[in-house]
Amino acid sequence: MASEQQLTAIKGAKVLMVGAGGIGCELLKTLALSGFQDIHIIDMDTIEVSNLNRQFLFRKSHVGQSKAKVARDAVLRFRPHISITPYHANVKDPDFKVDFFKQFNVVLNGLDNLDAR
């Protein structure tokens, strides 16, 4: 069981999650259920039919849509009072400079793509 101090730190942490695919879906669910309340997600991919058997936040009706945005919407259905900011973008995009990453207390890698890692 987490202490009050640990729970306060979790609630106050600003988390960046890179990747909203197979690893990212599980990671996002776990973060949301663990009490994190300010989560940002970067993923440049869109949902494909082949993703549906392992990326449980997505449904057939989501095919063609942004993984980051749909993952946010799916989690907000069971954790509506947290903040999830999606970025439908490539983490290697020049807009994501060092200062962008410095704003986060935690950066987590949910990528399944070796090049982006």
**115 part of a folded domain:** no
Q: What is the pLDDT of residue 109?
A: 95
Query: C-alpha dihedral over 85, 91, 95, 97, to 10 degrees?
Result: 100
Confidence bin at 115 (pLDDT 50/70/90): low
pTM greater than the 0.95 cutoff: no
Q: CA-CA distance, 97 to 84, in Å (whole number)?
A: 20
**66 part of a folded domain:** yes
Whether the pLDDT of residue 113 is over 70: the answer is no
Residue 74: give its domain's CATH number.
Answer: 3.40.50.720
